[in-house]
Amino acid sequence: GLPCAKREERDERRGVIVRSYGPLARAVDSLARLRSPAGIRRGDEELPVDFNLADLFEQAADHFGPRECLVANGVRRTYAQMEERANRLAHHLARHGIGAGDHVGIYAQNCVEWVETLWAVFKIRGVWVNINYRYVEDELRYLVANADLKALVFARLYAPRVAAVRDAMPDLVHAIVIDDGSGEPLTGIDAIDFEAAMAASYTCTLYYNGAAAGSGDTFAWFPVTLVEATGNQSLTQSAI
């Protein structure tokens, strides 16, 4: 899905030829120019600059939002749509206690939800674990027992396999199921539907209290309450 708009130019500060082959590659160039080998400078002070893969994708979404990012099984996502949905899922995972360093399994065939989950995991600085959909039960049991999964996103087609190895995932605190139309039962699995998790994004409500400020007609509004965080708000947590 990355448009191949080849670009070649000379970066005088680095003395190299820069070649980019699409929006994400140009976003990498853009971020690279923000930093020297050790960081950026403010006067005589050297400031470290750190970013993760989600930062790079956000740069691409900012610059190429309306452009097509992904097509899978007839479903299309622009960069802006992918960024918004990944943010929503990242907020959902964070609200359920999934954060930096936690392992999140992805058990599905190629689909847009797979990629959205990947970016969401990057945003919370989690560790994604790709689970091969061809694994039989013994192989699957070994992997999930060894991977220390705290969250699992899986296609409904594989619900019976997930149920069969649920006891091998003692650290699992949250599961999300992708509805693939298979209709497989979720017996023995406590999981929320993928789109329901998206819909459960959180609205930001800012309440104001008005009060007179000084004399005359001057009137000021003061924010007094902030309730939760918006599900569309960028949640990228860069390395510290």
**Dist CA 67 CA 24 (whole Å):** 12
pLDDT attached to residue 62: 84
**Dist CA 163 CA 154 (whole Å):** 11
pLDDT attached to residue 200: 75
pLDDT attached to residue 24: 52
- DSSP state, residue 152: E
For residue 44, give the 3-state DSSP assignment.
coil
- DSSP state, residue 109: S
For 65-88, letters b (16+ CB in 10 Å) and e give: bebebbeeeeeebbbebbbbbbbb
**Dist CA 149 CA 173 (whole Å):** 9
Q: Contact, 50 vs 29, CB < 8 A?
A: no
Between helix 53-64 and helix 112-123 the angle, nearest 10°, is 120
- DSSP conformation letters of 156-218: GGGHHHHHHTGGG-TT--EEEEE--S-----TT---EEHHHHHHT----EEEEEEEE-SSTT-
If we measure between CA atoms, which residue out of 184, 192, 193, 146 comes closest to residue 165?
Answer: 146
pLDDT attached to residue 159: 97
For residue 227, give the 3-state DSSP assignment.
strand
CB atoms within 10 A of CB 233: 13
Whether the full predicted model's pTM is greater than 0.85, yes or no, is no
User: Consecutive sets of 10 residues in the chain, 240 residues long: mean pLDDT of each?
Assistant: 38 39 52 48 59 78 87 92 93 95 96 95 94 95 96 98 97 97 95 92 53 51 44 47
pLDDT attached to residue 58: 83
* Residues in the chain, total: 240
Q: Contact, 157 vs 187, CB < 8 A?
A: no
